[in-house]
Structure 1
Amino acid sequence: METSTPSSNPSPSPTPTPSPAPVEYHEPPDEFVQDRITYVKRASIAKKGRRLGSSHIWKYGVQYIRSSDKKEVYYCHECATGKHKQELFVVNGTSRVRNHLEQKHQVDPQSGVKKPSSTRRSVLDQQRSAAVTSTFFWKDSIEKFKELLVRWIVYCHIAFFQLENQYFRELLFFLNPALLSHLPKAAKTIRSWVMDAFWSKKQRLKDDLRQARSRISISFDLWTSPNPYAILGVVAMWIDATGKRQITVLGMRRVYGEHSGENVGSVIIELLGEYGVGGDQIGYFMLDNASSNDAAVEFILKELCPWMTPNQRRHRRLRCLGHIVNLCCQAFLMGRDCEKHLAKLEKHYQRGDYTKVEELWRKFGCLGRLHNLVRYIRLTPQRREEFAAIIIGGDLAEFDRLEPIQNNSTRWNSWFRSITRALNVREWLEIFSARHVPGKGSQGIANFKLDGQHWFELEKIELALKDFYAATLLTEGTKTSLADWFLTLDCLLREISETKDHYHDMHTDDDNNFTWKYLESCADAAWSKCAEYYNNQQMNWQNRFPEDTDLPPAYYAAQILDPYRKWAWFRQEWVLHGDEEKKRWFDNAQSAVKHLWEREYKGRYPVESLPSPARRERDPDLAFDRQREHKRIRTDAPVSTTDLYEQYISTDRLHDEDASYDDAIAYWLSRYDSQRDLARFALDLFAISPMSDECERLFSSAKLTIVDRRGRLKADIVEACECLRAWYGKPQVEDNSDIEDSENDNGRVDN
């Protein structure tokens, strides 16, 4: 027995035929009563008729006012003609009315005309089939369908108007005809579904934050969207009620007016208020190195935590390790004045003066030549094709058809990837440079060619940049904590210092080769930039706050409160070598961490003692009672008055070289009910990521949402889509076939 479905007949569906003449309806009453509620025709009481939309629904009905709540409802002429009970939909859109006219009165949804009787019968058969199938589509299934649809839309950056596409709708109706009654026909309805899902999940997140086992630390950054809006992304970091570390998007808010610290801070205060996060719950701020962020943190903490001293507020402002490493890398590549050089380049890029850009890059030797050569090749499709046509094969076949990578001033490690790729396709670049014939009016690549000396320098630079690359990769993502911040920076400073000494020795032995002197100056510039942040002297900090030139104690405390580390590393690196200055650093760090413990944690989180169980009544027996009393231990003073922090650091560290931050969190969670003060101290710090890279990922996703065809998206729906996308998370199975080939670009030079 065949079942009729919307796609069971392979032939095209018949085109609806318009009725020969418009249907005439009787004039509806000015007032009527249904279900004890009075309805009054809007036209009879309004002084001025409301302008109706262009939808065809107004051919088949009029508006009435419901007396109970003054809502405007839809009165159907077809129901009145057929003597059916009026459904009286509230007029806040056209989807429900259009569904009613289509399903009950066979009005075509596209043309807005009634279908002929033969078509009407086939539609009725289709509806009967849909009704049978819909028995399996109960209310919970419909809600699940809505959730899955919204999740797919926001995660895959689907434009809302795509749900209006007839081909997509026919596909879904083929799979399940019951969706005919539930799939909205207007993009506006999908928008409301997304906003409903956003508010629902936001409320759940608010509840989770209220039950957090640590303070809520914040990361935020500003971004200019393609619309263009000034968008502020805000991310929260905390330990949840189950003991898991969470890094979650709180919101994306449009910032109006000046991008000052006070203006940005007021937006964040408003957002935190929506989640119910008050001053007692605020932790630290992990941000990039923009000076406006200093003012923003100061403004936020003054407003939410008025009891804090200026010193406490400054110590809550932490610096993104990824940005510090990138600044050191730029200093290595472009010298001590790298900020000025980058500003000049950016100015000429914005003006479109690429001739001046090329001239500026020529000042940077092999780096400038490589940048200009890669840009020249990638500038036109013809040059790209010419480069891709070079095939070497043999042992180098795996590198055929790889394009050179262009460096980017804002993307971390882009120079490392660019140089590594250039070294891997060196033969291809040399062949291209030898064969290429420039077009008319083009100067060609005479000034961009790389000779043997340039390739030698690039090899040495690529080797030095591996330290920066490793420092970034080892501390990004969700598997690291603030405990890795100081160790990574210290290791990077040591590696740069060794590189500088190595190049100095090479220059001493071979003073005829300028490369060694050049590389020594590069390493010296990177070392100076790294030392600024290591000694807390960045951005004229020492002159601005001469009384506060030590690093915030949170950097040290995060490592000390790792039971597998404690003070062991500092003793090993600062004390055992006998360096008096580093011994002083060690004493200052110990004092700073202890002061932080006593000022903000000690005695702040009392352990809730459970009531002692009721004692079972015994029959009185003096002989037994005397025996029990004689054996009882009696104390006149508290069992222990030892400071919990002092007791913790006086014991040996746990020995497990493979222990991760998850193990450290588990250690303190097991003591959360017995050592609440110290456990909160540790969990507050382990919740913090050493980087603010999550904001960058948020903006990369939003760039795919706000494409040219969606340039009119408002800030509220952009926030809803991106928050939902982050909250839903990645699918468990993903196709990684389209990952950029640089991900799998094994360093040929290393082999």
Structure 2
Amino acid sequence: MLPSPPPSAFSFLRPPRNLASQFELTTQSALPDHPTVADLPRAVWRNKRYVLEESLSRKGSKGRKSWIKRHGFFLVEIDTNDSPLSPYWACRLCDAKGQPEFFAAAATSSAADHLRKSHRIFESSQAADPDLSTDESERPKRRRLQYSAVPRARVKMIRELSLGLLINTNVPFSFFSDTFFQQLAWQLDPHLADQIPWSRQSMGRLLDDTYKSKKDEIKQELSDALTKIHLGFDLWTSPNRHAVMAVTAHFLDRQGKHQSRLLALRRQLGCHSGESLAVTLGQVVREWKIEDRVGTVISDNASSNDSCLVNFYGDLDAEMSLADVRARRMRCYGHILNLVARAFLYGEDFESFEAESQVFDLLGRREDDLRHWRKKGPVGKLHNVVKFIRSSPQRCELFKRISRENDEAQEYLLASESTAELEVVMNNDTRWNSTYLMISRALVKQGDIRAFLVHPEVEKWLPEADMLKGDDWRLLAEIKLILEPFYLQTMRTQGWGSEGGNGRLWEVMTGMEYLLEHLEDRKLFHHAVPDEAGGQDTNSQAEQARGRPDRNRQLPARFRDCETDIHPRKSRQGPLSDRGSRQCDDGSGKPSGSLGIDDMGKDHRHYLRLSIMTAWQKLNEYYTKLGDSPLFAASIILHPSLGMNYLEVNWASEEQLVWVRDAKIGLSDYLDRWYHCNRPVDEQQKMIMDTSTSLSVPRTTTEVSVFKQWIKSRTAKTTVMGSELERYLRLEPQETEDPIEWWMAHQGQFPMISQLALDILAIPAMATDCERSFSLAKLTLTTQRLSMTTETLEKLQCLKNWVRHGAVKLGATIVLRVIKYLKYDPGFDLFDLRAALAPRMIGG
């Protein structure tokens, strides 16, 4: 049915002929944010005013289901004070003639008789009409639901806002059943409070319905995405001892903005093998109907994740090879930084060290735990000191009192704020940055900690072996200097991408190059300091440092014969100046200039060298693994501000030119395999066929013609392919702050490469959104809510994620639009407002 033309200016001057035209006229404007009965669409007939029954709230009502609903209007008469009176049914066929017939809607028998006798309209199934199938005397009595003066649109909006409050503040579903809240709501608006079902069961049903409706919106958003859908997943043990897998989606929307959506918090049953993980991940992907849109997968470096992705991609595409899976396996940059920093702090076997510390803590073996941490030098001693301060309220008070006394002793502070109220920070076993923050805060509070350690009460209880000396503080300052770039890299890349940076894939390889060079600088600096008692091991390490240990990147099989030892990119002529070793005055806690590393004890110098070497080896190990996927290097090549020029400058030695060639060929092969051969319509092949058919080739020379077409297809394919990639590679680095904006502006010039570039720019550097979901879920699963099912937790956390990212909004006012079926259509359900009323979101 064609939509009716918009009303002319003259149509507003003449009185409406019937009810339908009056409702059509009044539904053209949106309702206000807080509508009343006076704002609802209405019709006037014979000096009586009517509103649609579905627009009024009736607590407990599930809506009309009678068959006569398709052939008439269910109306409610309102008085001069806008209070609802009696319900009526008006015939649409009679209304179309300008003579509507009204029947009381308390029962539908009179209206059904009218349709049968006057219009020869019969119900197809008598069982569908309860008013006709049962005698009035036999029908069970139930309480008649009273009409309210509160519009249903307002009730719907307030219910969604109430659900948003539950989701955002992590309060239980029974929150609105609280007596004091009920009294408060009654005082504010008794009519409204009486109409809103706020019971725990009602809020649970509302959560289910809202999740289903909002999930459809997210599905549409994923369907409209500009790029492929990249997935991130991780495992977590919930407070109620369930294994839970979080799955997130990352993509660019049609405006080129990075988007991240939580798709699932799904319980992981059984063992955590790769096959089991792949089953859960595949279920989530199929549930969201994105099987053909999956790009890469970001996860940590667990070996089970490797086998998981082999099974996962094998289910999606049976033709995908092991090399194809490796190309799409993105290692979480944050997890790599975590492993490297923990190796620096605790040695190569850091997991055993942390596990042993946890065992001592669980068994209450305090002295063993102190001795265990003490083995780690100044970091372990600082851990013991901080634990000593925080383990007793009396010690915390003593430390604060000493801090205030030191602060008052300084008559004035010119360029710094008072640190007297700052607390010392305690690290934990699993988060390396907590150790960095502990050291940073300790250096700020160094004067206060030193004064605390010499207090008589402290000297009596704290072991002498845990006392921090001058060398210890110098070593802690150097450790902070070495770890600071790792901390800054973590903070930079754990966020959501902004203008193509801060958390994008191209920052992984560049960041690892930066950190490798940082470690090499510090390693060369410390080896340049003489150490008479260092022994053969130190001397051999010094020789290695002067030559800068080779950074060997594993090449693909086709280049394995060309693999050689990689020499340093740039030479080091002599020892570097000291950029980090500083000494603090005994009482001030402020740095007093730079101090040579030779003032540090030989044991501390040896500890630093070994720590730097361990961290460098761990970082180089994962830097080597980047060669498994061509996308890491491609993310740099396809960054307009970096391009091939960046790789050629940084990989400048003769041997490193193999890396450059590898990166270029890897990009070309990936582009040819996934963005050329599998295009929906092969424009190049079509162009070749059109060109070949235009040639005047005799029909008798079929074999020659086919051969020439084969030659031309291969030549044209290579030329078109090569021309687009080569044209981009010949460009000079472009000055742009936003590579996404640049590629969207050049899609016409580089149609295939731009799609690959946008897909790569949508890949995050980390899977931190999974960790964020776990942290938020832990706030929801308090000790009083541990019986919550994983399904309910998933709905709560998904809605929280979608609302906070602006993907959906909770709380809506209804826009009544001109509905085409206001004109008679017997097959359409006129007042099914789920189809007739479109929501306009106003806030979350």
TM-score, normalization by structure 2: 0.64
Change (3 A) 1:644 1:701: farther
Give the Å deviation of 1:680: 2.0
Match of 2:271 in 1: 258
- Structure 1: state its 5+ residue gaps: 1-32, 38-66, 72-79, 90-99, 105-130, 537-548, 610-635, 733-751
Deviates more, 1:506-515 or 1:248-257: 506-515
Change (3 A) 1:438 1:457: closer
Change (3 A) 1:70 1:398: farther
Report Cα offsets for 1:131-163 as digits up to 9, x if no partner: 9xx64x422222221222211210111111111
The match for 1:477 among 478, 488, 495 is 495
Change (3 A) 1:463 1:448: same
Change (3 A) 1:273 1:513: same
Q: Is 1:294 the equivalent of 2:306?
A: yes
Match of 1:684 in 2: 759
Match of 2:476 in 1: 458
Q: Is 1:188 the equivalent of 2:201?
A: yes
Which consecutive aligned stretches of 4+ in structure 1 deviate over 4 angstroms post-superposition? Answer: 33-37, 67-71, 84-89, 606-609, 636-640, 671-675
* Cα-Cα RMSD: 3.1
The match for 2:430 among 410, 421, 434 is 410
Report Cα offsets for 1:547-575 as digits up to 9, x if no partner: xx933101011111122221111011112
Give the secondary-structure state (helix, strand or coil) at the position aligned to 1:184.
coil
2:296–2:329 contact (8 Å) kept in structure 1: yes
Equivalent positions of 1:412-451 (< 5 A) are 412-435=432-455, 437=457, 444-451=462-469
The match for 1:494 among 475, 493, 517 is 517
Give the Å deviation of 1:172: 2.3
Give the secondary-structure state (helix, strand or coil) at the position aligned to 2:230.
strand
Q: Distance in 1 between matches of 2:504 and 2:417?
A: 41
Deviates more, 1:594-603 or 1:494-503: 594-603
Give the Å deviation of 1:705: 0.2
Report Cα offsets for 1:240-288 as digits up to 9, x if no partner: 233322111111011111111211211111111110011x311111111
Match of 1:557 in 2: 634
1:252–1:719 contact (8 Å) kept in structure 2: yes
Q: What is the count of residue pairs matched by the alignment?
A: 572
Report Cα offsets for 1:324-352 as digits up to 9, x if no partner: 11111111112222233223223333444
Change (3 A) 1:171 1:532: same
Report Cα offsets for 1:408-428 as digits up to 9, x if no partner: 232251111100101111122
Change (3 A) 1:600 1:153: same
Q: Is 1:516 the equivalent of 2:605?
A: yes
1:329–1:526 contact (8 Å) kept in structure 2: yes
Give the Å deviation of 1:531: 0.5
Higher relative contact order (CA 8 A, sep 6+): 2
Give the Å deviation of 1:512: 6.1
Letter of the 1:317 counterpart: R
Q: Distance in 1 between matches of 2:212 and 2:351?
A: 42
Change (3 A) 1:317 1:706: same
The match for 2:283 among 270, 273, 286 is 270
Give the secondary-structure state (helix, strand or coil) at the position aligned to 1:581.
coil
Q: Is 1:140 the equivalent of 2:153?
A: yes
2:676–2:682 contact (8 Å) kept in structure 1: no
Q: Is 1:285 the equivalent of 2:285?
A: no
Change (3 A) 1:591 1:731: closer
Match of 1:314 in 2: 326
Give the secondary-structure state (helix, strand or coil) at the position aligned to 1:251.
strand
Q: Is 1:168 the equivalent of 2:181?
A: yes
- The percentage of counterpart residues that share the same residue type is 29
Q: Distance in 1 between matches of 2:432 and 2:210?
A: 35
Give the Å deviation of 1:307: 1.2
Give the Å deviation of 1:505: 1.0
Q: Distance in 2 between matches of 1:530 and 1:382?
A: 43
Q: Distance in 2 between matches of 1:199 and 1:354?
A: 51
Give the secondary-structure state (helix, strand or coil) at the position aligned to 2:655.
helix
The match for 1:650 among 724, 729, 751 is 729
Q: Distance in 2 between matches of 1:164 and 1:436?
A: 57
Q: Is 1:150 the equivalent of 2:163?
A: yes
The match for 1:667 among 742, 745, 761 is 742
Q: Is 1:467 the equivalent of 2:485?
A: yes
Give the Å deviation of 1:652: 1.5
Give the secondary-structure state (helix, strand or coil) at the position aligned to 2:265.
strand
Give the secondary-structure state (helix, strand or coil) at the position aligned to 2:269.
coil
Q: Distance in 2 between matches of 1:512 and 1:710?
A: 54
Change (3 A) 1:230 1:276: same
Report Cα offsets for 1:275-333 as digits up to 9, x if no partner: 0011x311111111111111111111111121101111122111111111111111111
Q: Distance in 1 between matches of 2:160 and 2:781?
A: 22
Q: Distance in 1 between matches of 2:664 and 2:448?
A: 56
Give the secondary-structure state (helix, strand or coil) at the position aligned to 1:253.
strand
The match for 2:783 among 696, 705, 708 is 708
Give the secondary-structure state (helix, strand or coil) at the position aligned to 1:234.
strand
1:701–1:722 contact (8 Å) kept in structure 2: yes
Give the Å deviation of 1:684: 1.3
Match of 2:418 in 1: 398
TM-score, normalization by structure 1: 0.71
2:641–2:734 contact (8 Å) kept in structure 1: yes
Change (3 A) 1:388 1:443: closer
- Structure 2: state its 5+ residue gaps: 1-105, 111-125, 131-136, 498-502, 532-596, 684-711, 808-844
Match of 2:621 in 1: 532
Give the secondary-structure state (helix, strand or coil) at the position aligned to 1:242.
coil
Change (3 A) 1:497 1:174: same
Letter of the 1:491 counterpart: Y
Report Cα offsets for 1:600-652 as digits up to 9, x if no partner: 1124335799xxxxxxxxxxxxxxxxxxxxxxxxxx99998453542343332
Report Cα offsets for 1:18-72 as digits up to 9, x if no partner: xxxxxxxxxxxxxxx97569xxxxxxxxxxxxxxxxxxxxxxxxxxxxx95899x
Give the secondary-structure state (helix, strand or coil) at the position aligned to 2:250.
strand
1:218–1:284 contact (8 Å) kept in structure 2: yes
Report Cα offsets for 1:382-403 as digits up to 9, x if no partner: 3222222221223376111211
Q: Distance in 2 between matches of 1:600 and 1:163?
A: 53
Deviates more, 1:145-154 or 1:407-416: 407-416
Equivalent positions of 1:186-265 (< 5 A) are 186-265=199-278
Match of 1:572 in 2: 649
Report Cα offsets for 1:460-516 as digits up to 9, x if no partner: 111111121122122220123111110001110110111111111124584963322
